[in-house]
Structure 1
Amino acid sequence: MSVWDEMAKLIAKLPSHVIGPERVRFLGDLVRTARDELRRDMQGIVHGWLVRMSQNEASDIDVGGWGCGGKVWYRIHGVKRPDPDSQVLSLEETDLLLLNLLTDSQREFLFEHRNLDFSYTFEADGRSYRFRADMYFDLDHLALNMRFIKGEIRPFKSLGFHPNVARALSLIHVKQGLTLVTGITGSGKSSTLDSIIDANNQSVDAHIVIIGAPIETVHKPKRCIIRHREVGRDVKSFKEGTIEALRQDPDIIVIGEMRDPETIMTALEVTDSGHKVFSTLHTASAVESIDRIIA
C-alpha cells in the first residue's frame, strides 16, 4: 500500500460532523498515533519538496490551504509560481503532511494561537538543510511558508562599518549597551546580526545567549559558548527567554526581534542592568525606531 493510500485511510476516519479547525485537530490526533513507517514516508514527501527547492535555487516554498490550489509553489529569483511537476493535493492531504512536521507541543501551540513560527532541519544527500518556517490557518486548513537558510555567515569586515562602530559592536571594547539593527523586511537585519555574533565568537572569550523566533543560523562555538533558545520550543516567549538569560551568566544577549512592548521593556531593563544586548526592530529609519520604542 502506498503512502497516499495510507493517508487516504486516515482521512476517511474524519467524522462528517467535525468541521472547521477541529477537523485539523482531529487529523493531528491521527498523525500522533500513526505508524512510524507512515510518518517517515510522509516526512519524505515534504523533504523531497525542500530538496527540490534547494536545487532550483528557490528562496521560499508555499504549500497548503485554499490559496495554493493544491499545488506546491516556489519563489525562484523573486518570482513565485506553482511547480508544474507537482501533483494536485487535497486540503486534507496537505493538512496531514504539515501536521506531521511538528512535535506534539508545536501542534498544541498552533491550535491555540492559529500560527506557529519555527525552524526545521533535516539531513539528506550527506548535507544539512535548514529552514525558517511559518505555519498558519487559511480558511480552516493549514498553510506553510518555508524560507531556505543557506547557513553562510557574511564576513563582518565586508559590512563596511566605520572603525568606531565596529569597536562599539565588539565585546572587547564595549561591555554593555543596546545595539539595534533596524530596517524593512528583507533588508538584511538577521544576516547583519549573525555577522556581528560571529565576529564576537571569533575574537573574545565569552558567553552568548541567542533568543529567536525561530532560530535561523546555528553558530558553532569558537571562542564563545553560544546558546540557541527558540521561542515556542526552548522558551515560551522573548520576554521570558531574556529574563531567564540573566541567570545564565551571559556576556551578550541577542534578542531576535523586539516585536511587542513587553519585549522592548525587558530589553531596556536588561541593558540597564549592565549587559551587552543586540536586537532587531522592524522600522525604516533611526527616528522611527526611537518613536517605536517610546510608544
Structure 2
Amino acid sequence: MTTPYSSEAFLHQLLGKALAAHASDIHLKVGQPPGARVRGDMVYFRVDKIRPEDSEAAARVLLAGQPARDELAALQEHDTSVVVPGLGRFRVSLYRQRGSLAIVLRSIPLQVPSFDELGVPSAVRALAEQDHGLVLVAGTAGSGKSTTLAAFVGHINATLPRHIITLEDPIEHVHEDNRSSVSQREIGVDTADFPTALRAALRQDPDVVMVSSLHDGASFELALHAAETGHLVLAAVHTPDVARTLGRLLALGKSPGEARDRLADCLLGVVAQRLLPRRDGTGEVLAAEVLIATAAVREAIRRPEGSPSLRELMEKGVTPYGMQTFEAHVRQLVGQGIITKETAKAVTSL
C-alpha cells in the first residue's frame, strides 16, 4: 500500500524540517507522529500518527540498495547509515517494538568536524599526534563520542602521513584520504565483529586504529596489545566519567593486577564528555573532563591505595598539563555565558 512515507522526497522534507529546528535525532514510531530530539527534549510534528505501513514504507526507502531491505519481514534490529543529498549523512537504527518497525535517525554532518569546531580542549588535541598508546573518549549515549573520534581521525588525516584503520558500527563520518590513507571497516559488512577486526588490523600495517566501541574483554585485551606494540589506538567507551571509564576497563581485564600495569603503561589520556544545551538555544556545547597520563596518574592506576584520586590529579594538573574536571569546565561555560546556571545546577553540584 502506498503511503507518503513511500516517497523519498517526503522523507527528505521531514528530515530537513527537523534539522532546521536543530534536531539531533528523528524518531518514526507507530502510534505517534514523527518526533525529533531538540535541545535534549522530544517534540513531535503536527501531522497524523504513523501507521505500521508507514514505518515499513520508510524503512524500504532508507534501505534502498541494501540486502536488509529484502529481509525486512524478519528484521528485529539493524544499524546502518544513509546519505541524503543536501542534508547530510544519517545513522539509522531500525528495530521492532510491539511487532511493528520503529526507526531512529541521527544527523551526522557530511563535513568531518575539527577540534576547534567541537570545542575539544587543547590538551586532548595533542594526544592525536602521539606515535603510540591508548586514547579513550568516554560518554553516555548521545554525548558526541563518535564525532570527537572523527575529529581525531580528521586531524591526523590532515596533518600526518599515516595509515589509519577505523572499526565502526556503523560507519558514520566518511574520511577522504588526505595526508593519510584511511581504511574504514564496518562491523557486520566488512568484518564480523570488533575482536575479529582488531586481530586483523594488526596484520594490515596500521599506524592508527580507531575503535568506535570498546565494550568487551576481548576487544580491550586486543586494544591494549595494539597500543603496546607501537600503534596509536583511539577508542570510545560508554561510561560517564574518567574514573568509571578506567574502572570499567580494568574490570574487563583477565587479571586485575596485570590489567592495571598494562593500562598504566600504555594510556595516554581520557576525555569524558557530555553535550549541554546552549543558552541561546542554537544547539549544544561540549563539556568535558580531561585526564592526561602523567607519571602520577600512571602510579595512581597501578596502586590506587595510597595514591591521590584521579579527581585530585585532574585538579592539580590544570596548569602544567591541561587537565580539567567536568565541574570546572561547566563553571567556565557559565562564566562565558554559553550555558545557564540552571543547566549547570542540573548536571553538577554547583
- Same fold flag (TM > 0.5): yes
Instruction: Summarize deviations over 1:28-52 as a string: whole Å, max 9, x none.
Output: xxxxxxxxxxxxx543332332222
Contact 1:64 1:95 in 2 (8 A): no
State the match for 1:269 in structure 2. Answer: 225
Candidates 33, 38, 43, aligned match of 1:76: 38
Q: Please give the per-residue CA displacement for 1:45-75, whole angstroms capped at 9, x wherever unaligned.
A: 323322222233322111133xxx1421122
Which residue does 2:59 correspond to in 1?
98
Kept in 1: contact 2:81–2:171 (CA 8 A): yes
RMSD: 2.7
> What corresponds to 1:169 in structure 2?
128
The superposition leaves residues 5-35 of structure 1 with CA deviations (integer Å, 9 ceiling, x where unpaired) of 9x9xxxxxxxxxxxxxxxxxxxxxxxxxxxx
Name the SS for the 2:230 alignment partner. coil
Is the alpha carbon distance of 1:236 and 1:161 closer, same or farther for their aligned partners in structure 2, counting shifts above 3 Å?
A: same
- Are residues 1:294 and 2:250 paired? yes
- Residue 269 of structure 2 is matched in structure 1 by none
CA contact (8 A) 1:95 1:142 kept: yes
Uncovered stretches (5+) of structure 1, i.e. residues with no partner: 8-40
Residue 210 in 1 paired to residue 166 in 2? yes
1:101 and 1:213 map into 2 onto residues whose CA distance is 17
The residue number in structure 2 matching 1:19 is none
* Inter-partner Cα distance in structure 2 for 1:215 and 1:100: 19
Match of 1:239 among 162, 173, 195: 195
Distance 1:178 1:106, change over 3 A: farther
159, 164, 171: which is aligned to 2:120?
159
Determine the structure 1 residue equivalent to 2:134: 178
Q: Contact 1:120 / 1:130 at 8 angstroms: preserved in 2? A: yes
Does the residue aligned with 1:194 lie in a helix, a strand or coil?
A: helix
Alignment CA distance shift 1:221-1:59 (3 Å):
same
Gaps of 5+ in 2: 252-350
Task: Go from structure 1 to structure 2 and tell me whether the alpha carbon gap of 1:111 and 1:233 turns closer, same or farther (over 3 Å shift).
Answer: farther
- Residue 24 of structure 1 corresponds to which residue in structure 2? none
Partner SS, residue 203 of structure 2: helix
Q: Which residue of 1 aligns with 2:79?
A: 117
Judge conservation of contact 1:109–1:116 (CA < 8 Å) in 2: no
The match for 2:211 is: 255
In the alignment, is the contact (CA less than 8 A) between 2:60 and 2:69 conserved in 1?
A: yes
- Among the aligned pairs, what percent are the same residue? 28
Q: Per-residue displacement from partner, 1:185-244 (whole Å, max 9, x unpaired)?
A: 333322222222222112111111111112221122210111222222332222222222
Structure 1 match to 2:324:
none
CA–CA distance in 1 between the matches of 2:110 and 2:168?
A: 16
Q: Secondary structure at the match of 1:181?
A: strand
Q: Does the CA contact (< 8 Å) of 2:113 and 2:154 recur in 1?
A: no
Displaced runs of 4 or more, over 6 A = 108-113
Q: CA deviation at 1:288?
A: 1.6
Distance 1:97 1:154 in 2: 29
Please state whether the residue corresponding to 1:80 is helix, strand or coil.
Answer: strand
- 1:45 counterpart = 2:1: no
Q: 1:131-169, CA deviations, whole angstroms, 9 ceiling, x for partnerless residues?
A: 11211110111101111112444433552323xx54443
Opposite residue 91 of structure 2, the aligned amino acid is R
Per-residue deviation at 1:269? 2.6
Matched with 1:4 is 3
The equivalent residue for 2:20 is 55
Change (3 A) 1:200 1:62: same
Query: What is the SS of the residue equivalent to 1:262?
Result: helix
Question: Given the alignment, which residue of 162, 165, 185 partners 1:229?
Answer: 185
From 122, 125, 135, the counterpart of 2:94: 135
Q: Choose which of 91, 95, 106 in structure 2 pairs with 1:147.
A: 106
Paired residues of 1:109 and 1:232 also in contact (CA < 8 A): no
After superposition, residues 5-24 of structure 1 pair within 5 angstroms as none
Q: Aligned partner of 2:28: which letter? A: V
Q: Is the 8 A contact 2:139 2:239 kept in 1?
A: yes
Distance 2:151 2:176 in 1: 13
Alpha-carbon displacement from aligned partner over 1:162-190 (angstroms, at most 9, x marks no partner): 3xx544430xxx32211111123333322
Deviations 1:225-273 (A, max 9, x none): 1122222233222222222222322111100111223322222232233
AA aligned opposite 2:109 = K
**Matched letter for residue 247 of structure 2:** D
Q: Secondary structure at the match of 1:50?
A: helix
